[in-house]
Chains A and B, each alone.
Chain A
Amino acid sequence: MSQLEIILPSKKYKQRATTFLVSAIVVSVACIYMKFNPFGFFAEFHYVWDLLGDMLWPNYRVLSDNSSLVWSILLTVSMAYLGTLYGSFIGVILAFLAASNTMPYKIVRMIAGAFLSLMRVIPALVFILIFVIAVGPGPFAGMLTMVIATVGTFGKLFTEIIENAESAPGEAIFSVGASRVQVIRFSIIPQILPSLIANVLYGFDVNIRTVIALGIFGGGGIGFEFQMAKSVLHYKDMTAVITIMIVLIFLSEKLSNYLRKKILGEGKLR
């Protein structure tokens, strides 16, 4: 009698087994199509071993021999910094144009929103390729790419932050005769500032990694040095560069967290 109220485990087992089987088949077909053998990684592990042999131990003399390496570190950090700064600036402006509570004209919102979506959906790779052709290879192209990439990554997020600001304080000010711009300045900006700053600092962290990756495509900076060392098979130099990358990323994370705590922990008193 009460048997009807429960789902028998054997049925659940059949469901699970079927799901697992179907998934396994899908994955296997994909692997076969891509000629990928997951076990090949382990079977052919000796290649990794050989490579490690070539890569160790890192050759840190590249730092002293090659002054361009130190310069490239500076480049990388600057690109990330400027890209984050300008990108956030442009991103915030566009976000205000795209947010429903700060832009009353639907047409402007739609255009701004579409623009932001466009930036977001196109990977940074495309932009670096374009800018390398438009302004030549090097850190300038890298920086421009970072600006656009930052707008892409954070544009939509900023829009959401703005839209999530509470309207009550703004309406209160509005009702005593403030203009729309004043509402923005006194109601919305104080509310979103902490979140904005947190995201910008986080953006710097993310952007350092992107800059490094872009360097390989001609963006300059440490990524470029890495590619150089690798292409001439100077693996020990390459490893040294990799460790520098790791240190850079680690430091930027620490810096980003520290600044976030410092600025937001105390609260920006206005």
Chain B
Amino acid sequence: MGTKKYSFKRYRKLLLPLILLLAVTEGAAIVCGATFEKLLQGLSKGLSFLLYMFPPDWSAFAEMLQPAVESILIAFLGTVFGAILSIIFALFAASNLSNKYVRSIVRFLIGFERSIPEIVILLLLIAAFGLGAMAGIIALSIGCIGMIGKLLGDTIEEIDVIMMESMESVGANKLQIIAFGVMPQIMPSLISYVLFRFEINIRLSVILGAVGAGGIGYELEYAFGLLEYHRALTAILIIMIMVFGTERLSLMLRNKIKTEGVLK
């Protein structure tokens, strides 16, 4: 055979980016105080602590059911009101429905909302309205706008203009075009987006709860604060069931929509 050595020449193109990558990684590692061994050490420490938290405090299960329900309801209401808000934003964010100035402003607002983490929104709302479910629900509602508003706006824009012109030509006004033309067309997508967001909102509800919105997130934080780690594990288990259950439910409903093409 003619070739004696493997030529690495073809990897030359990758050399510069690779060096860059390594340099950045080194820098970041120094900043965080983390090297690869420390990483593994840290992970194992975490694992051992987790094991230390076993067994869960079974008696706490009953107490934590109500906070769990509260978290679910916060996510539910947040999603419901968030969906309503998002639909309104999306209608104004579609180029085939609103004039370009309004559209630009609304799109900017939607993008702006996406840049603010929900936790920050919550903290601001707590500063304004105080601790509790209200701040949590409003925070989640506002949080929906960035995702559902954008996705829905894009979906509406995909509607062929000719359909709307056809309705306009027989005398329908804007509201009727939206009700009879736009809404039926976007229904399956809307429901899909809402279900997906609900999954996200359940997780957020837990995190926001820890910060002050109440529910099981709060219970978790509280347990950690009291150093009652077994109780904390109970809360974690309940959270896992909540998230997993929601995922399954959402998946099932979304599949049902795909096959049946929406219920009503």
Tell me the bound Cα distance from A246 to B123 in angstroms: 15
CB distance from A236 to the nearest CB of B (A): 13
A122 to B206, CA, bound (A): 10
State whether A246 and B115 are in contact (beta carbons under 8 Å apart), knowing that A33-B73, A47-B129, A144-B46 are contacts in the complex.
yes
Residue from B45, B124, B137, B239 in contact with A126 in the complex, judged by beta carbons closer than 8 Å: B239
With contact pairs A130-B46, A134-B46, A147-B43 given, residues A139 and B33 touching in the complex (Cβ less than 8 Å): yes
Q: Across the interface, name the chain B residue whose C-beta is closest to A247.
A: B115
Chain B, residues 116-152, CB within 8 Å of chain A (1/0): the string is: 1111100110011100111001100000000000000
Residue A158, interface by CB 8 Å: no
* Contact B129 A78, beta carbon cutoff 8 Å: no
Of the residues B50, B73, B119, B221, contact of A30 by C-beta under 8 Å:
B73
Q: Chain B: interface secondary structure? A: helix
- Produce 1/0 per residue, A138-174, CB < 8 A to B: 1111111001100000000000000000000000000
B residues 30-48 in Cβ contact with A at 8 Å: 31-34, 38-39, 42-43, 45-46, 48
Given A121-B243, A139-B32, verify A129-B224 contact (CB < 8 Å): yes
* Chain A contacts for B220, CB-based, 8 A: 125-126, 129
Within 221-257 of B, Cβ neighbours of A (below 8 Å) are at: 221, 224, 232, 236, 239-240, 243-244, 247
* In the complex, chain B residues whose CB is within 8 Å of the CB of A92: none
Which chain A residue has the least Cβ–Cβ distance from B206? A123
Q: How many residues of A contact B (CB 8 A)?
A: 70
CB atoms of B211 and A123 under 8 A apart: no
Q: How many A-B residue pairs have CB under 8 A?
A: 160
Query: Is the CB of A97 closer than 8 A to any CB of chain B?
Result: no
Q: Is A201 an interface residue (CB 8 A)?
A: no
Greatest chain A CB density within 10 A among B24, B33, B120, B134 is at B120
B176 within 8 A of A: no
Q: Per-position contact with B for A9-33: 1 when CB-CB < 8 Å, else 0?
A: 0000001100100000001001101
15 intermolecular pairs with C-beta atoms under 8 Å apart: A30-B77, A34-B73, A34-B137, A35-B133, A47-B129, A75-B32, A78-B28, A86-B39, A123-B203, A125-B207, A130-B46, A133-B224, A139-B32, A148-B46, A213-B207
The 5 nearest A-B residue pairs measured at CB = A78-B28, A134-B45, A47-B128, A78-B31, A134-B49
Binding site for B on A (CB under 8 A): 15-16, 19, 27, 30-31, 33-38, 40-41, 44, 47-48, 50-51, 55, 74-75, 77-79, 81-82, 85-86, 117-118, 121-127, 129-131, 133-135, 138-144, 147-148, 209, 212-213, 216-217, 223, 226-227, 230, 235, 242, 245-246, 249-250, 269-270
